[in-house]
Chains A and B, each alone.
Chain A
Amino acid sequence: MTRYMLLRLADAIPTIWLVLTLVFIAMRILPGDPAIAALGDAALPEQLADFRAKMGLDVPLWQQYFNFLYGTLSLDFGKSYMNGTPVLSLIARNLPYTIELTIAAMIIGVVVGIPLGVMAAVNRDKLPDTGVRIFSLVGYAIPDFYLGALFLIVFALNLGWFPINGAGDGFLDRVHHIILPAVTLALVKAAFIGRLTRTSLLEVLGRDYIRTARAKGAREPRVIYRHGLRNALLPLTTGLGLSLLATLSGSVAIELVFNRPGIGRMLIQSMTERDYGVIQGGVVVLALLVVLINLLMDLVYIVVDPRIRVK
């Protein structure tokens, strides 16, 4: 098991290298001079040279590449082209909000989605199943930012139950601020998780060992949760990982809807300002998060599946 984990960890290294290289290539094939983009056409040559020197753009490309790799690995993501703020501090300021939102949404999504899926599977082709099917169809179709906007209009603007924007200060205030965005993301996730749970559970409930459990005298709840869901967890783990990734990407739009600080809003803002320093940092952080989540998923899989864990 340890060997497998180490192998998997070792495998992440070339992936990270590939991701960083792709980001670097993409950033450098951009048409136009980043210095001109940052300072405008009217900038003086000295200003441009000064800017390039400050941002490390005055050295040969291969050197920039190694500086970039080294910088990223030592958590130096460069500086904002606009105001010179280190991107790391921007990320440090914004990332907690994104993580907080993603985790809150995932928890609600799982807590709502899995029971829904179980209910649908157990009552296959009956009313609850149809209900869950419709819920998941709409959940697949409705854009999260639209759902968020609707919630904002109804619960924040008209009913006044929740704040309209920001992330709040202090624990209770933060919870108050996070409810609407988290529920928005979670509902869309719950549709996916519910459907997935239904499919995997139905598949598992047809297996021979479920019959064995019943033959032992286990009652239905035990059969379904202890034997069924526990085994359905294997395919679900993959699904939950995908769901976590989707929640992360969904948080970008949701941060914009609810005007919450976060990596997504930081990235979008830097895009409208054409601040390539921050864009690069944001893209790298998101990419690293994706690699990390995938890695985590694999490790969780090892824990859930004894066939991999115990050889």
Chain B
Amino acid sequence: MTEAPVLVHAQPTAAAIRPLLKVEKLSVEFGPKASPIRVVNGVSFEVDAGGSVGIVGESGSGKSITSLAVMGLIPSPPGRIVEGRVEFEGTNLLELQKSRLPDIRGRDIAMIFQEPMSSLNPVMTIGDQIGEAIKLHEKMSREQRRERIVELLKLVGIPNPEGRLGAYPHQFSGGMRQRVMIAMAVACNPKLLIADEPTTALDVTIQAQVLELMHKVRRTLNTSILLISHDLGVIADVCERVVVMYAGRVVEEADVKSIFRTPSHPYTRGLLQSIPRLNDERTRLYQIPGSVPLAGTVKKGCPFVARCPDRIGRCAEEMPPMFAVSKSQRAACWVTAGAAAAASLGINEGATA
């Protein structure tokens, strides 16, 4: 063990100063080329080395597709990335040769999914499935690999790991399967772990355990995390920064504190109001009126306009850019963020309108 440490603590290097992952103006379309449906529209965000970012949004906001796009796993056909950059450690993954992507997946960027029940191969033992993740990227002897698998299972809290190597997924509960998925994902000590709704399919108590495990993974392996969830609570638990997506666009981006204390975009405000609180006197939960527009139906203007309590005439005409609300907060809203940004910059709003 001393000569071959299996779980290496990632050392901060010079590269760690730059953002680890930088997504720029990413757009993804689905359907026929003649009448494409744009599901992700000009999405930009960054994940710093060692950082943790959450993407929050309702189903249909394009958050999952964004995460799949980073992995190069958009099912094609019918989907395709039409523009943008996905820079990982300075390399644009979208321009990378297709045959080189598998080298990065699993080794540098790993991913876990929403459905632990169906995301594991039913005819392979979990030992083999974790072992495959290692074998694909690292050369080591069968014994070393076995040792590593056991250690990984221990890390994610599977009891009696030696005894469970030969078990099949159907012999595990949902929570245990998600643990196996995490063990598999971190098998090669990835720099970035993308978790797409990792707790949505699980019971509340199991959810908490899995989130605790993600903290542990981050602490022990110094892995950056990109967490996708519809649940701001889950994101607040794990992440430092939050990206709010709505109908394929980023509408607000900020550190977790700012999101909760001074949400800027009306949609973010609505989201926050709809979180149940224990000390809340209200009997009914707040609900944002209306529903997410169907993908690709918003042709111009802000996609949230129909449901927005603060809308002005301009909103229906022109998509607002991301205004800097503060040093660590940006939002795409003419009314709230636009005004604030204008005020802080001392620009007369009438001049820009």
User: Which residues of A approach B to under 8 Å, CB–CB?
Assistant: 207-209, 211-219, 226-227, 230-231, 233-234, 304-307, 310
A306 and B170 form a contact (CB under 8 A): yes
Instruction: Report how far A306 CA is from B120 CA in the complex, Å.
Output: 13
B136 and A216 form a contact (CB under 8 A): yes
Q: Which residue of B lies closest to A205 (CB)?
A: B75
Known: A214-B105, A306-B168, A310-B171. A208 touches B118 (CB 8 A): yes
Instruction: Report how far A214 CA is from B71 CA in the complex, Å.
Output: 9
Known: A216-B105, A310-B168. A209 touches B133 (CB 8 A): no
Separation in Å of the B170 CB from the closest CB of chain A?
5
* Residues of B with C-beta under 8 A to A211: 73, 113, 119
* Residues of A with C-beta under 8 A to B136: 216-218
- Checking B103, B105, B110, B120 against A209 with a beta-carbon cut-off of 8 angstroms, the contacting residue is B120
Q: Mark B260-283, 1 if CB is under 8 A from A, else 0.
A: 000000000000000000000000
- Checking B99, B132, B170 against A307 with a beta-carbon cut-off of 8 angstroms, the contacting residue is B170
Interface size of B in residues (CB-CB distance below 8 Å): 32
Tell me whether B34 is interfacial, beta carbon within 8 Å. Answer: no
* Residues of A with C-beta under 8 A to B170: 306-307, 310
DSSP majority for the A interface? helix
Separation in Å of the B66 CB from the closest CB of chain A?
15
Instruction: Report how far A214 CA is from B101 CA in the complex, Å.
Output: 10
Instruction: Report how far A304 CA is from B124 CA in the complex, Å.
Output: 11
Question: Would you list which residues of chain B between 113 and 167 have a CB under 8 Å from chain A?
Answer: 113, 115, 118-125, 132-133, 136-137, 167
Known: A214-B73, A216-B132, A216-B136. A307 touches B122 (CB 8 A): yes
> What are 22 A-B residue pairs whose CB atoms fall within 8 Å in the complex?
A208-B113, A211-B73, A212-B113, A212-B119, A212-B121, A215-B73, A215-B106, A215-B111, A216-B110, A216-B132, A217-B104, A217-B105, A217-B106, A217-B107, A217-B136, A218-B106, A219-B99, A227-B124, A230-B123, A230-B124, A307-B122, A307-B170
Q: Which residue of A lies closest to B170 (CB)?
A: A307
Separation in Å of the A188 CB from the closest CB of chain B?
29
B168 and A213 form a contact (CB under 8 A): no
* Residues of A with C-beta under 8 A to B167: 310
* Residues of A with C-beta under 8 A to B71: 214-215
B168 and A307 form a contact (CB under 8 A): yes
* Residues of B with C-beta under 8 A to A230: 121, 123-124
* Residues of A with C-beta under 8 A to B102: 214, 217-219
Highest count of chain B CB atoms <10 Å: which of A208, A209, A212: A212
Known: A215-B185, A216-B133, A217-B136. 4 other contacts (CB 8 A): A214-B73, A217-B104, A219-B102, A310-B171
Separation in Å of the A232 CB from the closest CB of chain B?
10
User: Which residues of B approach A to under 8 Å, CB–CB?
Assistant: 71, 73, 99, 102-107, 110-111, 113, 115, 118-125, 132-133, 136-137, 167-168, 170-171, 181, 184-185
B123 and A208 form a contact (CB under 8 A): no
* Residues of B with C-beta under 8 A to A227: 121, 124
* Residues of A with C-beta under 8 A to B181: 212
Separation in Å of the B198 CB from the closest CB of chain A?
13
Known: A208-B113, A218-B136, A310-B171. A213 touches B121 (CB 8 A): yes
Instruction: Report how far A219 CA is from B72 CA in the complex, Å.
Output: 13
* Residues of A with C-beta under 8 A to B124: 227, 230
Separation in Å of the B152 CB from the closest CB of chain A?
13
Instruction: Report how far A207 CA is from B124 CA in the complex, Å.
Output: 15
Highest count of chain A CB atoms <10 Å: which of B99, B106, B120: B106
* Residues of B with C-beta under 8 A to A217: 102-107, 133, 136-137
Separation in Å of the A308 CB from the closest CB of chain B?
10
A231 and B115 form a contact (CB under 8 A): no
* Residues of A with C-beta under 8 A to B168: 306-307, 310
* Residues of B with C-beta under 8 A to A234: 123
Highest count of chain B CB atoms <10 Å: which of A211, A230, A231, A305: A211
Separation in Å of the B278 CB from the closest CB of chain A?
35
* Residues of B with C-beta under 8 A to A305: 123
Separation in Å of the B34 CB from the closest CB of chain A?
17
Known: A209-B118, A218-B136. A306 touches B123 (CB 8 A): yes
* Residues of A with C-beta under 8 A to B73: 211, 214-215
Instruction: Report how far A166 CA is from B184 CA in the complex, Å.
Output: 58
Separation in Å of the B192 CB from the closest CB of chain A?
12
Q: Which residue of A lies closest to B116 (CB)?
A: A208
* Residues of A with C-beta under 8 A to B107: 217
* Residues of B with C-beta under 8 A to A209: 118-122
Instruction: Report how far A226 CA is from B119 CA in the complex, Å.
Output: 15
Instruction: Report how far A214 CA is from B125 CA in the complex, Å.
Output: 17
